[in-house]
Amino acid sequence: MGFPNRIERTVELAHAPQQVWAALTTAEGLAAWFGNKGATIDLRTGGDASLDFDNGVHTNMRVERIEEPTVFGFTWQIYGLPADDPRRTYVEFTLEPTPAGTRLTVVETGFAQLPDDAHKTAFDGNVNGWAQKLDELRDYLDAR
Amino acid sequence: MPADFEAIAEQVFIALGDPNRRVILAELAAGGPATATDLATRLPITRQGIAKHLATLELAGLVVAEPGERRRVRYRLQSAPMQLAQQFLAALARDWDSQLDALSAHLDRKARRPHG
């Protein structure tokens, strides 16, 4: 299978879980290492969050899981897909205390999702709809 | 993992592996639906070459033939397979290594300057 659906990384951090938790779940923390141009977060399940990156990309996220200070999960859009595409990947950070500080694991899943049929139909319909509307406009103008 | 997912991604990357097909797809993306004749006049590819590549792209589902003016067939780019391939690229482009290095550096800075 050549299509990665799941990405996982683990890092050892020389800081207590509370410090790591703050870096992951506060606007100030996120803006310091993640969205370097700014970050917002409404820290409750279902809350909105966003990151602004150096390259001008603005990403909206939705907070999915909060178990302070061990699990923080959110969903966000797959980079490069149109804004109205419903597909999201799920990112989950897990914090484990260690003698030296914290073992942080990040798992991102959902890259290999097919668009659901309803969306696919709606999307194709929309594209064809525009082509048809532009043709109708031209016929209208030609007839004048 | 649905098998067709792999198959669609493979078709996209095969299509993009050929420079003439890239040029044709780029022209359809930039200028919208076009006939084989339109493409032959705009691109440095023979009419026969255009027809051959369009047939390959149509089989792969990357372009769709539709009736155009004066009953001539126009080819339109199909974006859904491209978006699927983009998901694959998104997984490769997700740079958690750099991001986690940045997190580590941020925590180190903050520990050195607890009030800064």
Q: Which residues contact A98 (CB under 8 A, 6 or more apart)?
A: A12
With tokens 């006049």, the residue in question is B41
pLDDT tens figures, B42-86: 999 999 999 999 999 998 889 999 987 787 899 999 988 888 888
What is the edge-to-edge ordering of all strands in the sheet holding B73-77?
B34-35, B73-77, B63-67
Q: Kindly report the three-state secondary structure assignment for every residue of A84-115.
A: CCCCEEEEEEEEEEECCEEEEEEEEECCCCCC
Residues of B with CB under 8 A from a CB of A: 1-2, 4-6, 9, 33, 76, 79-80, 83-84, 86-94, 96-97, 99-100, 102-108, 110-111
Q: Model-level pTM greater than 0.90?
A: no
Local confidence pLDDT in tens for the 144 residues of chain A: 567 788 999 999 999 999 999 999 999 999 999 998 999 999 999 999 999 998 888 999 999 999 999 999 999 988 878 778 888 999 999 999 999 999 999 999 988 776 665 445 444 444 454 555 566 667 777 777
A-chain residues within 8 Å CB-CB of B5?
3, 112, 114
Closest chain B residue by Cα to residue A119: B80
List, in sequence order, the alpha helices (H) in chain A: 17-25, 27-33, 117-142
Domain range for B88: 3-112
d(CA A97, nearest CA chain B) in Å: 15
Residue contact B1–A1, C-beta within 8 A: yes
With tokens 């319909």, the residue in question is A125
Which of B83, B96, B102 has its CB closest to that of A33? B102
Closest chain A residue by Cα to residue B109: A32
Instruction: Tell me, rounded to whole angstroms, the distance of Cα A78 from its chain centroid.
Output: 6
Whichever domain contains B60, its CATH number is 1.10.10.10
Three-state DSSP at B79 gives helix
Q: How many domains does chain B have?
A: 1
Closest C-alpha among B17, B31, B25, B89 to residue B57: B25
Residue B99 in tokens: 């991001």
Closest C-alpha among A30, A97, A25 to residue A67: A25
Three-state DSSP at A61 gives strand
Residue A21 in tokens: 């938790």
Residue contact A3–B88, C-beta within 8 A: yes
Which of A3, A29, A124 has its CB closest to that of B9? A3
Residue contact A114–B84, C-beta within 8 A: yes
Residue contact B106–A23, C-beta within 8 A: yes
